[in-house]
Amino acid sequence: MLLEMAADGFGDRVALGPSDGGLTYRDLYDSAGAASVRFRADGGSHVAMADLSSAALPVSLFGAAWAGLPFVPLNYRLTDDELAALASRISPAIIIVDPDSPDRLTGIDGIGLLSRRALMDLVDGADPPEPEWDMTGEGTAIELFTSGATGEPKAAVLRHRHLVSYVLGSVEFMGAHEDEAALVSVPPYHVAGIAAILSNVYAGRRVVQLPTFDAHDWVTLLRAESVTSAMVVPTMLTRIVEVLDAEGPDGPGLPTLRSLSYGGGRMPSPTIQRALELLPTTAFVNAYGLTETSSTVALLGPDEHREAMASADPVVRARLGSAGRPLPTIQVTIRDDLGDEVAVGQPGEIWVRGEQVSGEYRGSAPRLTADGWFPTHDGGWMDADGFLHVTGRIDDVIVKGGQNVSPGEIEEVLVCHPAVADAAAIGLPDRQWGERIIAAVVLHPGASASSDELRDTVRDRLRSNRTPDHVEFVGSLPYNDTGKLLRRVLRSDLAHLGDGSTG
């Protein structure tokens, strides 16, 4: 329906690729229709994709919706065994695959493979069928497997009504000017990768894809395509800032970039502050959301970034690290362990409610309360003006001597130390305290700082029970490719720093 409106409203605009010779909205609509015929003929229950971003992504995404089948973007970086396990769970299905690795996923019962190239050849110039699709929005649009950080991956279910609510609630139809282009470097199996396609199609903004993120390539492509907006995860922005810094004060900068949004993890404050300095004319947007909430539920807007950056008031200044305010279509509350709302400024769990919130996993009932509230498992607090501060996953909270300690606040202090490039705080078993606080620290090349110096830095800024019991210097921290810190991996790598007790 969203694509149909785009094709009707501005069919001749370029939807995808270079401004000269890219795929128009009419082309994309026709291709999605032709793809739907192929998907239906297959007779499977799902359409999946285990491939990098390409034109086949929007064609398959909209084609699957047209065919009334759930679209399942799979993480092509998984091992063959892990990928095969996920494929069996959605069988019978057709899976779009990378023509360069045709042997992956062969021989699985009920799984048919279609290479990206074969799909694009098939839909090229084909006539679409008459539109005919489910109008209720109850059908499943997307199943997204979570990264499985805490065990077996679960498939989050987003129905058409959730995604349509998100897009209608946050994007103005044809809101983009004809010269606007969005650079998408987030992979398809991240909810932001899907939201980017839907939002930009509805806004009429041309999409330029960078299939594999590299900061140099990102900057080069952005300049070549005169990109006006982009979305990045924090680890990407850190690399981009390094590239721009290396070009020096006389470098070309990114003058075409009007808007840069970021989300998907905690943004180190040195990175965002440096980015604001390097890109003085770019509007920064911090978007907070989860897969289960159809992407963004709260935003820190451009003016709020600059106000916070310029303010001497610590409350306003702290908003630079906040997720901003909820979307107009979303309600947010902070609740304690018993599910009761806490007072303004008090920490608790972030709960959200709105039409776009699914909170549903395949094979189980939605995890919404009877009146529609979803517990995010993220910790946070709200300031007096309604700015939401996200402190991290509740499961990552360190419990030392009965006190809850958010790793995020320790990490934030550490990364502001000039010698520190990156930092993570974790809890490891301790007989006396339940957990001890271990800080894993990556220093800038050539920089030095002692363990005591870093512990003192934290002690000076935070309450003394936040001081790390031990600082471990490491060469790098484990991240997945969408910039999420793998705390479980770190806990296991540093397990010898605990005392082996089981709490």
Partner 1 sequence: MPSLKPGSRFTSSVCTTQVIVVKGAGEVDLRCGGAPMLAAGAAADGGLPAEGASGGTLMGKRYVDPDETVEVLCTKPGDGSLGIGDALLDLKEAKPLPASD
Q: Give least dist CB 260 to partner 1, A.
A: 10
Residue 417, helix vs strand vs coil: coil
Sequential DSSP letters for 19-49: TTT-EEHHHHHHHHHHHHHHHHHHT-SEEEE
Enumerate residues 6+ apart whose C-beta is below 8 A from 297: 288, 289, 290, 326, 327, 330, 332, 352, 354, 356, 357
Of 161 and 223, the one with the shorter C-beta distance to partner 1 is 161
Interface pick for partner 1 out of 57, 290, 299, 428 (rule CB under 8 A): 299
Restricted to residues 224-283, the positions that interact with partner 1 (CB under 8 A) are 229, 231, 259, 261, 263, 283
Of 3 and 105, the one with the shorter C-beta distance to partner 1 is 3
Confirm or reject binding of residue 355 to partner 1 (CB under 8 A): yes
Residue 442, phi then psi, degrees to nearest 5? -105, 125
Confirm or reject binding of residue 391 to partner 1 (CB under 8 A): no
Of 262 and 433, the one with the shorter C-beta distance to partner 1 is 262
Sequential DSSP letters for 220-235: HHHHHTT--EEEE-HH
Of 5-13, 56-64, 408-416, 461-469, the segment contacting partner 1 by CB under 8 A is 5-13
Q: Give least dist CB 372 to partner 1, A.
A: 12
Q: Give least dist CB 115 to partner 1, A.
A: 28
Interface pick for partner 1 out of 205, 239, 400, 417 (rule CB under 8 A): 205
Q: How many residues bind partner 1 (CB under 8 A)?
A: 44
Confirm or reject binding of residue 9 to partner 1 (CB under 8 A): yes
Confirm or reject binding of residue 338 to partner 1 (CB under 8 A): no
Q: Give least dist CB 186 to partner 1, A.
A: 9
In terms of phi and psi (left: phi > 0; alpha: psi -120 to 50; beta: otherwise), the region of 329 is: alpha
Restricted to residues 368-387, the positions that interact with partner 1 (CB under 8 A) are none
Secondary structure of 82-145 in the HEC alphabet? HHHHHHHHHCCEEEEECCCCCCCCCCCCCEEEEEHHHHHHHHCCCCCCCCCCCCCCCCEEEEEE
Of 90 and 195, the one with the shorter C-beta distance to partner 1 is 195
Enumerate residues 6+ apart whose C-beta is below 8 A from 223: 252, 254, 256
Of 144 and 171, the one with the shorter C-beta distance to partner 1 is 171
Furthest-apart CA atoms within the chain: distance in Å: 71
Enumerate residues 6+ apart whose C-beta is below 8 A from 125: none
Structural contact between residues 407 and 362, judged by C-beta atoms closer than 8 angstroms: no
Confirm or reject binding of residue 222 to partner 1 (CB under 8 A): no
Task: Measure the CA–CA gap between 100 and 495, rounded to whole angstroms.
Answer: 39
Interface pick for partner 1 out of 75, 200, 235, 271 (rule CB under 8 A): 200
Structural contact between residues 311 and 317, judged by C-beta atoms closer than 8 angstroms: yes
Interface pick for partner 1 out of 48, 87, 171, 415 (rule CB under 8 A): 171
Enumerate residues 6+ apart whose C-beta is below 8 A from 424: 407, 411, 439, 440, 477, 485, 487, 490
Of 172 and 385, the one with the shorter C-beta distance to partner 1 is 172
Task: Measure the CA–CA gap between 250 and 264, rounded to whole angstroms.
Answer: 31
Enumerate residues 6+ apart whose C-beta is below 8 A from 36: 63, 64, 66, 67, 128, 129
Confirm or reject binding of residue 3 to partner 1 (CB under 8 A): no
Confirm or reject binding of residue 16 to partner 1 (CB under 8 A): no
Task: Measure the CA–CA gap between 500 and 503, rounded to whole angstroms.
Answer: 9
DSSP-derived secondary structure letter, 480: -
Size of the chain in residues:
503
Confirm or reject binding of residue 137 to partner 1 (CB under 8 A): yes
Q: Give least dist CB 318 to partner 1, A.
A: 20
Q: Give least dist CB 170 to partner 1, A.
A: 5
Of 52-60, 95-103, 164-172, 367-375, the segment contacting partner 1 by CB under 8 A is 164-172
Q: Give least dist CB 200 to partner 1, A.
A: 7
Confirm or reject binding of residue 327 to partner 1 (CB under 8 A): yes
Confirm or reject binding of residue 178 to partner 1 (CB under 8 A): no
Q: Which residues bind partner 1 (CB under 8 A)?
A: 1, 4-5, 8-9, 135-137, 161, 164-165, 168, 170-176, 182, 192, 195-196, 198-200, 203, 205, 229, 231, 259, 261, 263, 283, 285, 287, 295-296, 299, 301-302, 327-328, 355
